[in-house]
Amino acid sequence: AQTVTQSQPEMSVQEAETVTLSCTYDTSENNYYLFWYKQPPSRQMILVIRQEAYKQQNATENRFSVNFQKAAKSFSLKISDSQLGDTAMYFCAFMNPLLNTGNQFYFGTGTSLTVIP
């Protein structure tokens, strides 16, 4: 089975500062997708950003960017100019469409981020 590890159960950051959430994964495949999801207290799962493994360029979405290190199997999320609304649980996820017929996702255990006013 594929594994996804988030080694930081909880983190905090001052409003307007930058924070980086870590994620590592284990796979022998070469083609796959990586995602970061945000889960605010409302419980809704919201896609933040995604990265295709075959693309060398790191994905960015406004204040959110990733540092994708394929050889190291690392996929960290950087949040710039942190806002109070960024307070949430963040999940890293891995998907390899070739492993099975279902495009299954494998999730990390999550990092709870608190933005401090």
- Residue 40 interacts with other proteins (CB under 8 A): yes or no: no
Q: Is 101 in the site for other proteins (CB under 8 A)?
A: yes
3-state secondary structure 31-93: CCEEEEEEECCCCCCEEEEEEECCCCCCCEECCEEEEEECCCCEEEEEECCCCHHHCEEEEEE
Complex with other proteins: residue 64 or 107, whichever CB lies closer = 107
Chosen residue from 15, 16, 26, 47 binding other proteins by CB under 8 A:
47
Dihedral angle sign, alpha carbons of residues 62, 82, 114, 4: positive
Q: Which of 11, 27, 80, 95 binds other proteins (CB under 8 A)?
A: 95
- Interface ranges with other proteins (CB under 8 A): 1, 4, 6, 33, 35, 37, 43-45, 47, 50, 52, 91, 93, 95, 97, 100-110
